Amino acid sequence: MSVLDRGLQYGDGLFETVAILDGEPRLWERHMARLRAGVERLALPPPPEAELHEEACRLSAGSGRAVLKILYTRGVGGRGFRPPEPARAMRILMRFEAPEYPAAWWSQGVDVRFCDLRLGAQPALAGLKHLNRLEQVLARAEWTDPAIAEGLLLDNNGAVIEGTQSNLFAVIGDRLLTPVLDEAGVAGVMRAWILEWAALFGLNWEEARLTRSDVLEARELFLTNSLIGVWPVRSLAGRRLPERGIARELIACLRAARLCLIPD
Amino acid sequence: MSVLDRGLQYGDGLFETVAILDGEPRLWERHMARLRAGVERLALPPPPEAELHEEACRLSAGSGRAVLKILYTRGVGGRGFRPPEPARAMRILMRFEAPEYPAAWWSQGVDVRFCDLRLGAQPALAGLKHLNRLEQVLARAEWTDPAIAEGLLLDNNGAVIEGTQSNLFAVIGDRLLTPVLDEAGVAGVMRAWILEWAALFGLNWEEARLTRSDVLEARELFLTNSLIGVWPVRSLAGRRLPERGIARELIACLRAARLCLIPD
């Protein structure tokens, strides 16, 4: 790839992280829908979806469990922030080995911390899986203890937004809640799937502003992304969570449907 | 370069944009000081300054007027935000042609607008010339009129921070003011030079929080960066600025000292 690619020069692009299971990319249509939404907001050229699908299938074939990462950038430009017109988008597809998380992280739940870094508010980029990820890099560098699976990030107003690589759900009272992502955060493909699942099964769900004490007092918390599916939270900042019923139900559904990399 | 470089994957790195004049990189020590400061805050490996200087001089030799861009990233990593330990940093030096701005932009001043996009507050990254530049890309895409030289960006609190590719100075009363950059913005090498120049010549200068109406009512405004040196602002959002005395003085100094790409 060219060093002049605006993906490198400015992080001017998007990415998708797709679970490969049984030789096939999973939740493909949802990943493409999110990519399209991001492309529209950043005014990138429309992605060649047929070619992308063909390339993704070719890269996935033969892999039992793996990860497909797709980068989609505004391509090569001159010096200067102004987007070239017309831009020639660049796509890069990479296959990685499946991450090896302990099976207990699904069966027993994970231990989670709060990060010190606060996410900045930027409505123009909120929800997008774009390539400006220094906040996540700094947040993930806050801890090295391998027993801590994830760190939660708050924004400057004290709202809990997400994990460094996952979305957050909380069961509070009889409602399933997940943070609003209109000022910060990535609107995960698995998050969207779970909200539709909740609607389908008649769960009372809502996007909400959740504070640190809201989530500390939740009956149940779980983390989600396209690879892991769902991790129940066993403890947050040292405090044990009493329940993990909805997470267990989701894990059973996702495992049966083979939508992500939950161990058998 | 590797597509696995974290500069591309996450914008996990820094850059410097250096004026080349008469075959030499200008304000080199200041660029290295800023790079070192950024490296420290992002916990990147220390840059090999002797090699960088040698490479920069080699690339600059023979170029009357040009631009040297240095990218300095955390290098190749696996999948996941967590920084590799130890990281092997990657450096890329690129020479570009000098931008061809009208000479009148120095002699008569430039016309400037306000951008709609608001910069997000992120103290952990404020001041750094890092590779997460989607805000600037979106802001620079707001206008195409070539008669508008620059757009000013405010933050979510209504403070004016900077231009898309420049720092801002305002003369208000008898004080030379420039926005505080503790929550957003890039602390430019030319900005730092000008603050020292002001101190040297006994000007009453200050970092301040400036509102939209503060800058609209300023006696004088000017924009600065390492390449252009100083552009006096002729008009902001259609309103003419009455003076440009300090900008003229600075331009004369910078031109004489051959520190940037001011036309002769």
To the query of whether residue B85 is one of the catalytic residues in this protein, the response is no
Residue A199, min C-alpha distance to chain B (Å)? 31
List, for residues A72-128, the tens digit of each pLDDT value.
999 998 889 999 999 999 999 999 999 999 999 999 999 999 999 999 999 999 999
Using one digit for the tens of pLDDT, what is the confidence trace for B207-238?
999 999 999 999 999 999 999 999 999 999 99
The architecture (CATH level 2) of B6-97 comes to 2-Layer Sandwich (3.30)
Q: What residues are paired with A177 via a beta bridge? A: A170, A206
pLDDT of residue B66: 98
What distance in Å separates the CA atoms of residue B159 and residue B162, rounded to the nearest whole number? 10
How far apart are alpha carbons B16 and B136 in whole angstroms?
16
A50: three-class secondary structure by DSSP: helix
Q: Which residues from chain A sit within 8 angstroms of residue B164, using beta carbons?
A: 81
Predicted confidence at residue A172, as pLDDT, reads 96
- Give the one of A79, A92, A136 whose C-beta lies nearest to B69's C-beta: A79
Residues B133/B89, Cβ–Cβ less than 8 Å: no
- What Å distances lie between residue A63 and A20, A57, A71, A262, CA to CA? 7, 10, 20, 15
| The one-letter amino acid at B157 | N
Instruction: Give the Cα separation of A239 and A223 in Å (integer).
Output: 16
Identical fold at A6-97 and A104-257? no
pLDDT at B135 over 90: yes
Query: Residue B10 and residue A165: Cβ atoms within 8 Å?
Result: no
> Which chain A residue lies closest to B133 (C-alpha atoms)?
A10
Q: What is the pLDDT of residues B48-83, one digit of tens each?
A: 999 999 999 999 999 999 999 999 999 998 889 999
Residue B169 has pLDDT above 90, yes or no: yes
| ipTM rounded to 2 decimals | 0.95
Residue of A223, A249, A109, A116 lying closest to A170 (CA atoms):
A223
Q: Annotated catalytic, B162? A: yes
Cis peptide before B86 (omega within 30 of 0): yes
CB contact under 8 A, B121 and A117: no
- The residue of chain B nearest to residue A163, with distances taken between CA atoms, is B81
Are A164 and B133 a contacting pair at CB < 8 A? Answer: no
Q: B82, A11: Cβ pair inside 8 Å?
A: no
CATH code at B104-257 = 3.20.10.10
Domain map of chain B by residue range? Answer: 6-97, 104-257
Q: How far apart are CA B90 and CA B100, in angstroms?
A: 30
The pLDDT assigned to A147 comes to: 97
Where do we find the tokens 């957050």? A168
Q: What's the pLDDT at A79? A: 86
pLDDT, mean over chain A: 97
Dist. CA B216–CA B239, nearest whole Å: 7
* Tens of pLDDT, residues B107-133: 999 999 999 999 999 999 999 999 999
| Cβ proximity of B68 and B20 under 8 Å | yes
pLDDT at B198: 97
Chain B: closest CA distance from residue A254 (Å): 23
Q: Could you report the per-residue pLDDT of B11-22, keeping only the tens digit for each?
A: 999 999 999 999
Distance from the Cα of A27 to chain B's closest Cα (Å) equals 20
